[in-house]
Amino acid sequence: MTIPDLLVKYGLTIIVPIILFGGLIWLLTHLSATSGTQVTILWGLTSYYKKAMSYRDATKGIQPFLLLHPGKKGDLRLVFSSVPRDPSSPEEKEHPEFNYLAGPNEVCFAWAMQSHLQKLVPPGNRLLPVTFSKEMYIHDPVVKSANPQMWDANLLVSGSTKFNDVTRELHSERPELPLNLAFPPEGGAILDKRKNKRYIPERESLEVKYDYGILAKYWNPYELDRSIISIAGIESIFQLGITETFLNDHAAKRLMTEVLAKFNGKLPAYYEILIKAPGRGLQFTGPLMVIEAYTITKE
């Protein structure tokens, strides 16, 4: 019996439900099929290939630079490690506490990310000059205290507890943090206190094969309406990996996708993320891998 015959005999009362039922079967089959594979409808009655989702569609709405975004108000100050160097002038000998160099990987980060960092600054605020971590404190002969003028901004802190005073303070004075970067005499390590694990760089023929680092967002202990973004690795590969990843849209969105999966789709206000960075010697080979991600709250 042809479709016209069915229409004459039964009218639309039976044809419409059949069409709707068939459409529902097709919709369910299409949605459950993997992109780029063949879709078969009604036991082979018809088939076609489901178009693969484009990279643009798959990553729509993913904003990896939220991981580096300190807040919606306030200036942004970059705080780099204070690596000691030999004084080259009488003035430097007189003030050795400020006679430092930033690590080369941090300089590369600041230079390569300049345009992106400018976009992280809220309207009406400034991207302040790079600051050495030693400048964040008043070096009194008796007691070391924070320099309040240096902490009145959002901070993007780069460097390990070995050379960055701010990173050292964050990890030594906040025992509630789940991840702790330490540099005992035997070498740097990241301690996961919630899972009682210890991570150290993995080496092959003395070259670093895998580095570990922490990407975190903390509250500013001296300006509570400001935040601190911290990038702290054991070796240099993690810092290189952060720079190269955020300069590559595909790699950055891949990292953000992994992070969001750990946090059930929503980035918390404050967090610590343990990341594994593949490399060879002093080169980052990628991609960054998210090992753990923890939500942290103010105590």
The residue among 16, 34, 52 that closes a domain is 52
Is it the case that residue 54 has pLDDT exceeding 60?
no
**Amino acid 277: pLDDT:** 97
Are 28 and 146 within one domain?
no
290 close to 258: Cβ distance less than 8 angstroms: yes
76-80 and 131-132 beta bridge pairing: parallel
The residue among 32, 52, 72 that closes a domain is 52
The first and second tokens of residue 172, run together, are: 């030594």
Of the two residues 251 and 24, the one the predictor is more confident about is 251
State the chain's mean pLDDT as an integer: 82
Are 48 and 68 within one domain?
no
**Amino acid 129: pLDDT:** 86
Q: How confident is the model at residue 86 (pLDDT cuts 50, 70, 90)?
A: low
Of the two residues 175 and 284, the one the predictor is more confident about is 284
Are 74 and 34 within one domain?
no
Are 44 and 192 within one domain?
no
Are 39 and 159 within one domain?
no
Q: What is the mean pLDDT of residues 254-281?
A: 95
The first and second tokens of residue 16, run together, are: 């419409």
Are 44 and 64 within one domain?
no
Among residues 180, 176, 151, the alpha carbon closest in space to that of 168 is found at: 180
Looking at the 3D structure of the chain, how many domains does it have?
A: 2
The tally of CA atoms less than 13 A away on the side-chain side of residue 287 is 17
Q: What is the mean pLDDT of residues 88-111?
A: 63
Q: How confident is the model at residue 55 (pLDDT cuts 50, 70, 90)?
A: very low
Are 218 and 281 within one domain?
yes
233 close to 277: Cβ distance less than 8 angstroms: yes
Q: How confident is the model at residue 12 (pLDDT cuts 50, 70, 90)?
A: low
Q: What is the mean pLDDT of residues 18-45?
A: 64
**Amino acid 58: pLDDT:** 44
The first and second tokens of residue 125, run together, are: 């605020």
Of the two residues 108 and 121, the one the predictor is more confident about is 121
Are 10 and 75 within one domain?
no
State the residue range of the domain holding 182. Answer: 60-295
Q: How many Å apart are CA 163 and CA 160, to the nearest integer? A: 6
**Amino acid 98: pLDDT:** 47
Are 200 and 146 within one domain?
yes
Is it the case that residue 56 has pLDDT exceeding 60?
no
Is it the case that residue 141 has pLDDT exceeding 80?
no
Are 39 and 76 within one domain?
no
Q: State pLDDT tens for residues 206-262.
A: 899 999 999 999 999 899 899 999 999 999 899 999 999 999 999 999 999 999 999
Are 44 and 92 within one domain?
no
Is it the case that residue 93 has pLDDT exceeding 80?
no
Are 45 and 72 within one domain?
no
